[in-house]
């Protein structure tokens, strides 16, 4: 059976409209809050997960390469034998003399 009361029908329509409006306002507030949080966090110089993972992979590759080069150097030094003379160290560049400070007036 349908209700013949027009006041009740109008009230139900009003409440349905209000509920839809409130739900839309809630979604809009949530989106605005997310946007502001994203802007705030973006201003703090955080890196994204993708950037972090890329740098992490680069560091792991560099570490693996350094380990391989270290093993290769150890093998070369071992094949050279203990009787071979050590290579002289490269001379360091002399430090430039400092200019004397001007007297204060």
- Mean of the pLDDT values across residues 15-26? 92
Q: Within a domain: residue 84?
A: no
φ, ψ dihedrals at 8, nearest 5°:
-65, -40
Q: SS3 for 67?
A: helix
pTM: 0.39
- Cβ contacts of 3 within 8 Å, gap of 6 or more: 9
* Average pLDDT of every residue of the chain: 83
φ, ψ dihedrals at 68, nearest 5°:
-65, -40
- Mean of the pLDDT values across residues 57-81? 94
- Mean of the pLDDT values across residues 77-93? 69
Same domain, 38 and 18: yes
Q: How many percent of the chain have pLDDT more than 70? A: 74
Same domain, 21 and 4: yes
For residue 27, the enclosing domain spans 1-46
- Mean of the pLDDT values across residues 11-31? 92
Q: SS3 for 17?
A: helix
What was the pLDDT predicted at 1?
46
What was the pLDDT predicted at 103?
61
Same domain, 37 and 69: no
- Cβ contacts of 55 within 8 Å, gap of 6 or more: 47
Read off the pLDDT of residues 32-66 as tens digits, 9 standing for 90 and up: 999 998 888 777 777 889 999 999 999 999 999 99
Q: Within a domain: residue 96?
A: no
Q: Within a domain: residue 101?
A: no
């Amino acid at each position: 059976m349908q209700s013949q009361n027009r006041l009740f029908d109008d009230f139900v329509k009003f409440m349905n409209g209000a509920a839809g409006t409130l739900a839309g306002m809630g979604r809009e507030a949530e989106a605005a809050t997310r946007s502001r949080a994203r802007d705030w966090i973006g201003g703090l110089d955080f890196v994204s997960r993708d950037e972090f993972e890329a740098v992490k992979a680069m560091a792991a590759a560099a570490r693996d390469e350094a380990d391989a080069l270290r093993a290769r150097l150890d093998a070369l030094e071992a094949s050279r034998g203990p009787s071979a003379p050590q290579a002289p160290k490269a001379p360091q560049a002399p430090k430039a003399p400092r200019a004397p400070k001007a007297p204060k007036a």
